[in-house]
Amino acid sequence: MKKTFSILVLSLFFYVLPVLAQQQDRPKLVVGIVVDQMRQEYLYRFKDIFGKGGFNRLQSEGFSLQNMHYNYIPTFTGPGHCSIYTGTTPADHGIIANDWYDRETRGMVYCTSDTRYQTIGSSTTGAGAHSPARMLSTTITDELQLATGGKSQVVGISLKDRGSILPAGHLADMAYWYDFNTGRMISSTYYASALPDWAEKFNARKLMDKYLEKGWQLSMDKKAYNESGPDGSPHETPIAKFAPTQFPYDLLEIASKAANPAIPSLSADVLKYRLGAQSPWGDRLLTEFAMEAVSKMNLGKGAATDFLCLSYSSPDMIGHAFGPTSVEMEDEYIKLDLCLAELILFLDQKLGKENYLLFLTADHGVVEIPNKLIEAKIPAGYADLLAADSILNTRLSRQYGSAQWVLSLNNDQVFLNRAEIAAKKLNLEEVQEYAAQVMLEMPGICRSYSAIRLPSYTGEDWIIKRLQKGFHQKRSGDVLFVLEPGWLEKINYGTSHGTGYTYDTHVPSLWYGWKIKPGKSLIYHEISDLATTLALNLHTPLPNSCTGKIIEELAK
């Protein structure tokens, strides 16, 4: 009996030892940070104005992959967040843009919209009608949940619904985003029937209201902003009607002046919360909420690895209006750096640097405001795609008979009327090729390809390869076109992104904490490599459509 007991104890010892070793061989918490619209060069340009505890700490004490790129077109927020966490491209995960034309409904659909669900956390109808259902692949967060039998906790946090929902995956415990009408953090009945008590108490603090009273002030003397152009450039876009384009910004006064009392959605009470998100206060709100989530959910304290997906949205909203070389963008990154420093210090104290793994990247970059490039005698411009839509429809009518041939022109894609093509017994490939040639004649367009022929192109043409990886056969258009470098669709605001050029594809990739040794690499990597590397380190299966490679510098 005693011998049998000893054998049993010994057997349990040798069984439990590998299990304990495996548990200790994983971080207690993974923190994935996505900065919405961040170019790699910001780490160089703003290095001297950053403090020691944020971006500079991640670079000096962590590992920096300085040549990380997106490998597909188009580079938007939805596809970017999805690609980071699925380890693949829109060709597989299906999020081809933030919104796109849907042939079945004959209208635009949004990447996370889902009318089966309702808002929790506020009374704003439709703000919570979202889910990850349109994402066709699993994420690293999904695979973590599956691998641990649901013991891991996964939470997504962002101002934007898509910035929270897509990274957190299909199996998330919760995803939270910002209600632009009320300033509250909200969610969807996809996840729960109500917000947890701690989140309701957080909303009751009304932090955004307190932030708005302070306005948006510069962090330094204006003369110290040497990494940007002059404040108040004529090419920048006001954040609201009657708003200035230079500091200081009295956000409550701007909301009051821009308000239209006759339209509830344009009341001062609503506009002020939108302005709060379009300022660095959006970063502060998310940082406070993220730290509260870690504390109240006890993230990193359980038996299984937990995952916090945090996406900072304000840089994108500010960047679109003011551009990458504005004083506003420089000040935004100074303040974001302070938020990161506070978050890292909090995690160090809460868990210990050796117990959590943090990575930081971006969902896309941005182009300089084309008018600024033109002033500097650099080729750039604005393509009038509304006129192109009309011209293309006229040309197709001349060629094949009068009809509404173009159903939609969006995201640099043309959706043709396939029902009309079939009714007239036309060859779809022929019509696509003709439409592609017409689009190529438009000012500002340098490439144009038919959807049927695109998959058959071989070789090393980098634009074609990126178009192929962004092309989903069921969801993408009939013609895909590419604008010249430095060109944008004609817009009524500062600048944008979406291309395959380096200003949109080149993003940071910083790694810090658990088992990360200080260093840097200049080797080219693609964004899909992040999920592959995470999965192999977390000992989970790869996301089911993952195409990324291991980042060997981190594996070592």
Does the structure show a pLDDT above 70 at 502? Answer: yes
More confident residue, 493 or 330: 330
How many domains, the chain? 2
Model confidence band, residue 24 (pLDDT cutoffs 50, 70, 90): low
Model confidence band, residue 154 (pLDDT cutoffs 50, 70, 90): very high
* Residue 20 in domain: no
3-state secondary structure (DSSP) of residue 128: coil
What is the mean pLDDT of the segment spanning 76-99?
Answer: 98
Instruction: State which residues form the domain around 103.
Output: 34-372+501-507+514-555
| Per-residue buried b or exposed e for 4-29, using 16+ beta carbons within 10 Å of the residue's own CB | eeeeeeeeeeeeeeeeeeeeeebbbb
Closest CA to 157 of 313, 362, 320: 313
Tokens describing residue 391: 């011209």
Q: Give the CATH number for residue 438.
A: 3.30.1360.150
User: Are residues 303 and 191 both part of a single domain?
Assistant: yes
- With contact defined as beta carbons under 8 Å apart, do 14 and 26 qualify? no
In angstroms, the CA 254 to CA 239 distance is 9
pLDDT in tens, 26-52: 999 999 999 999 999 999 999 999 999
Q: Identify the pLDDT of residue 77.
A: 98
User: Are residues 60 and 124 both part of a single domain?
Assistant: yes
In angstroms, the CA 276 to CA 272 distance is 6
Q: Identify the pLDDT of residue 2.
A: 31
Does the structure show a pLDDT above 80 at 387? Answer: yes
User: Are residues 197 and 270 both part of a single domain?
Assistant: yes
User: Are residues 534 and 392 both part of a single domain?
Assistant: no
- With contact defined as beta carbons under 8 Å apart, do 549 and 532 qualify? yes
What is the mean pLDDT of the segment spanning 89-93?
Answer: 98
Model confidence band, residue 343 (pLDDT cutoffs 50, 70, 90): very high
Please state, rounded to an integer, the average pLDDT across all residues of the chain: 94
What is the mean pLDDT of the segment spanning 236-252?
Answer: 93
Q: Identify the pLDDT of residue 532.
A: 98
3-state secondary structure (DSSP) of residue 531: helix
* Residue 5 in domain: no
Q: Please provide residue 34's backbone torsions phi and psi, each rounded to the nearest 5 degrees.
A: -115, 125
pLDDT above 90 covers a percentage of the chain that reads: 93
In angstroms, the CA 16 to CA 184 distance is 45
User: Are residues 267 and 287 both part of a single domain?
Assistant: yes
Q: Identify the pLDDT of residue 262.
A: 84
pTM: 0.94
pLDDT in tens, 122-132: 999 999 999 99
Does the structure show a pLDDT above 70 at 7? Answer: no
Cis omega (within 30 of 0) for bond into 541: no
Q: Identify the pLDDT of residue 266.
A: 87
Segment among 9-13, 78-82, 340-344, 392-396 with least mean pLDDT: 9-13
- Assign 3-class secondary structure to 290-302: HHHHHHHCCCCCC
With 0-12 CB in 10 A as exposed, 13-18 as middle and 19+ as buried, what is 401?
exposed
User: Are residues 469 and 520 both part of a single domain?
Assistant: no
What is the mean pLDDT of the segment spanning 369-398?
Answer: 97
Q: Enumerate the active-site residues.
A: 77
Does the structure show a pLDDT above 80 at 10? Answer: no
What is the mean pLDDT of the segment spanning 290-314?
Answer: 98
Q: Which letter does DSSP use for residue 523 in this model?
A: S
Q: Identify the pLDDT of residue 492.
A: 82
- Assign 3-class secondary structure to 202-256: HHHCCHHHHHHHHCECCCCCHHHCCCCCCCCCCCCCCCCCCCCCCCCECHHHHHH
Q: Give the CATH number for residue 293.
A: 3.40.720.10
* Residue 47 in domain: yes
